[in-house]
Structure 1
C-alpha cells in the first residue's frame, strides 16, 4: 500500500485539508491492476488518481516516465498541470510534470521524447503519435501508471476506441502497467469498467448531496417553436445579478451566439459576460477561461466546450437553455456549479419552446432519480482499427497474431474476430480488391513473417493523419489587418456570403469584406441585424430514456409540475384528440390550408424522425398518396400532401421501410459524407500531406470519386461495409425506428380530425421543411396549368 509521504502530509495539514475516503481508498489500491473511480464533480477525483503516483515518486526516486495522464481536452491538461504543481512545489517534491498536446512546441516535444518527465499529461491523439515512433519502447520503459480522466466522455466516441488500443499497446511495452479511470457521470459502471479492462474493479465514492434543480419561471410563456429562449432573458439576467458566476449552457454554437447577442442588448447594468464555444479562436477561449478562473466574469454563455472537468472558481449557478436532450449531459453540466465536495450544485432549466417545458420536467425528474441515459456500447469501429494497424507499422515490423492478441485486450475490441482483423490488415496492406493495382495504397508488405511499411517514408504521412476527430469544412475568420483570428465558420456558410453581409461571431457583429487565401476577412459592424454563422457544433437528439419519460409523463391524469399554460395545452390535446402513449403509435390525420396532413408521434429523436419522414413519404409515393413535404422534430414528423391516409398499416411495414432505406442510401449524400469520414480515419484519404492541410472541398472531391468507384467495382469493400454501419447508427438512426416499431407491436391509432390539433400546431412553425418531388408536385402543376387554360378560355 502506498503511504502519503511526510512532506505531502505536512503540506495538507498546513492547508487544513484532509483526504476524502475515496482518495484514501485510491492510495490503498495503489497496486491494483485496474480501477474505475466514480466520484461526484468537485470530489477531488483527479487528485485521488494522482495520489499513489505522488506517494511512489516521493518515496522512491524514479528515472523517466512514471505516470501518463490522458484527458479528452487540451485545456484540461494545462489546468491539471497547474493544479498538480501546487502540492508538488508546496511539499518540495522532486517531481517533473509536463503536458504534451497539439499546442506543445516542436522543440519541447523532441525534448520530451529524449528525456520524458515523471508525469506526462496528454490527449489520445498525442499518445497515438508517441506510440508511432521507433523509440516508443524506450520512452515508455518503466511506465507504472496510466490515468484516464473523464473516461465516460471518451467512451462515447472513436477517440476512446483509439485510446483503448493505445493502452493495450502500452501494457505490452510496460508489463504490470496499472490503469485508472476517473468519471463523475456513469449510467452503467460495469460496462465502463469492462471498457477500461476486463479485470477492472469499481470504486464508488459518496455521491454527496443531490443537486438543486428547478425550472426557471418566466413572466412571458415560451414560444410554440424555436430555440432562442429570448423570452427568458429578463429573468436570466436577474439570476446573473443574484449569483457570483453563472454558466449559461446551450446545445449548439449558433444558438449560443444568438442568445449572447440578445442578452448583451438587454444587459443594461453592463455586467461582464463572455462567450465560449469550439468555433472561437484558441486565444478568445483562453481569454474567457482566464477571466472566469480569476472571477472577473459574472456569466459565460457556452456550449459543450465547458462541459468537462475544469474547475471554474466561483461558479455558483448553471443555467441550461433549451431541453438538455440527454440526462447524463445535464448532470455533467450541473456539476460545474459549486465545484466542491459535499456542496450541492444549483441549476435552472430554461425551456426554449412549449414542448421543451415537458422535456425539461422529464429531465429534471430523471436527474433527481439518478436515472442516467446511455446507449449500449457497440463493438469497436474498424476504421479506427485500420488506423491503429498503420500506426503500429510506423513504430516497428509486427507479427499479425501478436497484434491481434494485443488489440483484443482493449475493451471495445474484445469480441473482434480474427477474420475481421485480417480484413483490416489486408485493407492496410493493399487498399482492397478494387484498389490493389494502385501504388498509393500498397502500404504494407510481409517480410520474414512480419508486416512492415513498404516504404519507410510513408511513416511521416501516416503520423500527420493520426487521430479520429474529423474537422468540419471551416474557414478562419479574421478582422482585416489583424493577425489573430476571431474563430471559424463553415465553408458552406462562407460561400453564401457577399460583401456587406453581416454575421455574429464571438458575440460581435462583423461585416464580410471578402475571402483572402481561404480566410474570411471581416470588419466590425455594430448595430446591424446579423446573419447567423452556421457553426459545426453537434445537434443533439433526445435520448431514448428521456423520450420514454416524456411519454410516461404525458399519460399522467394531471401535471402539477408543469406551468399552467403547458398543462392547459396538454389537457386540450387530450380533449380534442389523445396523447401519445408508450406502447402505441399515435397518428393524426387532418386537413389544413388546403392540404392533407399526417402527424406521426414517434418520440424517436430528431435523426430517426427525419429518416422516418423520408421513408414514409417514399412509401406514400409508392401507394399513390401524393406527399408534398415533411418536417421533423425530436418527438414527431408532420407530412403534408394531396390525399388523406386512411390505412396506416402499409406505411409501417418494417420490410418495406428497410427496402426503402436501402434504395435511399445508395446514392445519398449522407452515405458519401460518412464514407469521407471513415476513409479519412482509416487512412484511405489524407487530411494532411507534407505538412499541408487539404481543404474540405479537396477531401470531399477525392472521397466522392473513391466512393463511386468502390460502389461500382467492389460493393463489398471494407470501407463501404463500415460506412453503412456508421450511417445506420448516426444521422439515419434507423435502430430507433426499429425499436419504436418493436415497442408498439403493430398497435397504431390513426385518429381522423377536422383540423390541426394542439400538439401538432407547433410543427407548422418549425424551420427545416423538406419538399418531396413526385406525383403530388406533378398533379399541382397540372391543376395550375388547367386553371390558367380555363382563365384564358382554352379549356
Structure 2
C-alpha cells in the first residue's frame, strides 16, 4: 500500500510509525529512530505517490532522506528496467557533496541490499553501475555522451537508460544559473534517452520521476517547475534558528526584526587587513565559548592566503588547528580537512562555497563571513552550518569596507524574517549548444 496518509492523526508517534511501516524495509533502513522530522512527514507521501517534488527546508532538517527514501521505495515497487545500470541518479553541485552523499547513503542502502557509488573526477575508475549513482552535472553530461553500449558496432544500450528517478540535491545552487540551465537540458536528454530505450526494447517503461531538495528560497514553485518540469510543485517546511552576531564591542547581540539595516551596519567591525580579521576572530574564540569556527571567503586565492595568515596569527596565542578548503585542492586534502575539523576541539576552517552545502563537518560554534554573500539565501545557507547543537546560530560578520557592511547588515535583517529577494530568471541559451 502506498504511504500516502493525507491527514495525520493526533498521535504523532502513531502517524510516524504508520508512515515508516508503509515504506517497509526502506523505512526501517532510513528512519531507524522513534520520531520522523517535520520535513519527512511532509515530503514522503507525495513523493511516494509519484509526484515531482521540490522539498524546501532549512539546513540540517533531514531533507535528503525525506526525498531519497520514498524514491527508492517507489523504484522497488516498479519492474526492473531489464538493463544493467543505476536505478536512481543523484545530482549534487560539488564533488565534496558527492562524496558526502555517498558516505551518508551507503549504510541505509546496504540494509536493503542496494549499492551506492559515485562518478566524478574524484572517483575516476569507480564502479559506475551501482543501484544509486551520485554525480555532478558535468559528469552527468559526460556519461550521457560517452557511456553508450555497443555490440559488434550496433547500439545495444546506455548506462543511464536504467535510471527511473533523479534526485537533485541543494537545488538552490542551480537556481537562475548557467549550471541550472545545464541540469534542465540534461534532464530533457535523459527523458529522451528513456523514450528511445523503450522504443528499442532496452527498458520496459520510460517514466522518470524527478525530485529535489533545496534550502529556503524565494518563489519555490517557480524553481520546481523550471528545474523539475511542468506539474512539479514545492513542499515547504519553514523554520529558522535565532541569529546572534558579535558586534564591534565584542558583545553577542541577538538580531530581531525591530533592528534596521542602518543600525546593524553601525554595530559591525571593519577588518580591512588580515591582522584585524585575525584579532576579531581571536576575540570570538578566546573565551572558550566558541571553539570551532567556519570562515567563508569569496575566492580560492583569499582562502589560501587567509588560511596561512590565521594559522600564523592564532597559533601565537594558542594551539588551534587551522586549514583551508576549496575546489582546487586535491580530494585527499579536502577530505582530510573535513575529517580533522570534525575531530579537533579547537579548530578554524577557511572555505569557499564548497562547504556552503551539506558536507558533514560536525558541530560549528560560530560562522564567520568575510564580505557579503550574493544574496540572503546564500547567507542563510552559510550560517546554517552553525548552531546545530545549541539551537542558536552565532555569526561573525567581517566586512572589509562600508559597502560590504551595508550589504551584510541588510541580508542579516532579511534573514531574521526569512525575507528573500526574488530571482531574476531567464534561460541562458548559450548553454544549449554546449
Q: TM-score, normalised on structure 2?
A: 0.77
Equivalent position of 2:166 in the other structure: 146
Offset of residue 71 of structure 1: 0.5
CA gap 1:9/1:369 in 2 versus in 1, 3 angstroms: closer
Equivalent position of 1:245 in the other structure: 292
Aligned to 1:202, what secondary structure does the other structure show?
A: strand
Offset of residue 355 of structure 1: 4.5
Offset of residue 364 of structure 1: 1.6
Aligned to 1:377, what secondary structure does the other structure show?
A: coil
Offset of residue 141 of structure 1: 3.4
CA gap 1:386/1:16 in 2 versus in 1, 3 angstroms: closer
With CA pairs under 8 Å and 6+ residues apart, which has the higher RCO, 1 or 2?
2
Offset of residue 158 of structure 1: 1.9
Measure, in 2, the Cα distance between the counterparts of 1:186 and 1:350: 24
Measure, in 2, the Cα distance between the counterparts of 1:208 and 1:131: 38
Equivalent position of 1:23 in the other structure: 40
Q: Please give the residue correspondences for 1:384-399 in structure 2 after superposition, counting only pairs within 5 Å.
A: 384-387=431-434
- Give the root-mean-square deviation of aligned CA atoms: 3.0
Q: Please give the residue correspondences for 1:18-417 in structure 2 after superposition, counting only pairs within 5 Å.
A: 18-29=35-46, 30-56=48-74, 62=80, 64-89=85-110, 92-106=111-125, 108=126, 112=128, 116-133=129-146, 134-135=148-149, 137-174=157-194, 175-196=206-227, 197-205=229-237, 207-218=238-249, 227-228=272-273, 230-240=275-285, 241-267=288-314, 268-295=317-344, 298-339=347-388, 343-382=391-430, 384-387=431-434
CA gap 1:288/1:176 in 2 versus in 1, 3 angstroms: same
Measure, in 2, the Cα distance between the counterparts of 1:222 and 1:335: 22
Q: Does the 8 Å CA contact 2:161/2:193 hold for their aligned counterparts? A: yes
Aligned to 2:98, what secondary structure does the other structure show?
A: helix
CA gap 1:312/1:248 in 2 versus in 1, 3 angstroms: same
Q: Does the 8 Å CA contact 2:169/2:213 hold for their aligned counterparts? A: yes
Structure showing greater radius of gyration is 1
Measure, in 1, the Cα distance between the counterparts of 2:388 and 2:346: 17
Measure, in 1, the Cα distance between the counterparts of 2:161 and 2:373: 44
Offset of residue 230 of structure 1: 3.2
Measure, in 1, the Cα distance between the counterparts of 2:370 and 2:361: 20
CA gap 1:367/1:275 in 2 versus in 1, 3 angstroms: same
Q: Does the 8 Å CA contact 1:222/1:231 hold for their aligned counterparts? A: no
Offset of residue 332 of structure 1: 1.1
Q: Does the 8 Å CA contact 1:276/1:303 hold for their aligned counterparts? A: yes
Offset of residue 61 of structure 1: 7.8
CA gap 1:156/1:283 in 2 versus in 1, 3 angstroms: farther
Measure, in 2, the Cα distance between the counterparts of 1:375 and 1:155: 8
Q: Does the 8 Å CA contact 2:247/2:269 hold for their aligned counterparts? A: no
CA gap 1:353/1:386 in 2 versus in 1, 3 angstroms: closer
CA gap 1:244/1:58 in 2 versus in 1, 3 angstroms: farther
For residues 400-448 of structure 1, the C-alpha deviation after alignment (integer angstroms, 9 at most, x for no partner) is xxxxxxxxxxxxxxxxxxxxxxxxxxxxxxxxxxxxxxxxxxxxxxxxx
Measure, in 2, the Cα distance between the counterparts of 1:214 and 1:271: 22
CA gap 1:269/1:230 in 2 versus in 1, 3 angstroms: same
Aligned to 1:315, what secondary structure does the other structure show?
A: coil
For residues 289-329 of structure 1, the C-alpha deviation after alignment (integer angstroms, 9 at most, x for no partner) is 22123346511122222111212211132111223352222
CA gap 1:306/1:295 in 2 versus in 1, 3 angstroms: same
For residues 360-415 of structure 1, the C-alpha deviation after alignment (integer angstroms, 9 at most, x for no partner) is 32222121132223541112323x2112xxxxxxxxxxxxxxxxxxxxxxxxxxxx
Equivalent position of 1:674 in the other structure: none
Measure, in 2, the Cα distance between the counterparts of 1:265 and 1:195: 47
Offset of residue 73 of structure 1: 0.8
- Name the count of aligned residue pairs: 374
Aligned to 2:108, what secondary structure does the other structure show?
A: helix
Q: Does the 8 Å CA contact 2:293/2:367 hold for their aligned counterparts? A: yes
Q: Does the 8 Å CA contact 1:38/1:182 hold for their aligned counterparts? A: yes
Offset of residue 222 of structure 1: 11
Measure, in 1, the Cα distance between the counterparts of 2:133 and 2:72: 13
Q: Does the 8 Å CA contact 2:93/2:173 hold for their aligned counterparts? A: yes
Offset of residue 255 of structure 1: 3.2
Offset of residue 226 of structure 1: 7.4
Aligned to 1:176, what secondary structure does the other structure show?
A: coil
Offset of residue 10 of structure 1: 4.7
Equivalent position of 2:14 in the other structure: none
Q: Does the 8 Å CA contact 1:215/1:361 hold for their aligned counterparts? A: no
Measure, in 2, the Cα distance between the counterparts of 1:57 and 1:293: 35
Q: Does the 8 Å CA contact 1:244/1:314 hold for their aligned counterparts? A: no
CA gap 1:335/1:139 in 2 versus in 1, 3 angstroms: same
Structure 2 residue ranges without an equivalent (≥5): 4-18, 150-155, 195-205, 251-265
Offset of residue 12 of structure 1: 6.5
Structure 1 residue ranges without an equivalent (≥5): 388-795
Offset of residue 139 of structure 1: 2.6
Q: Does the 8 Å CA contact 1:291/1:297 hold for their aligned counterparts? A: no
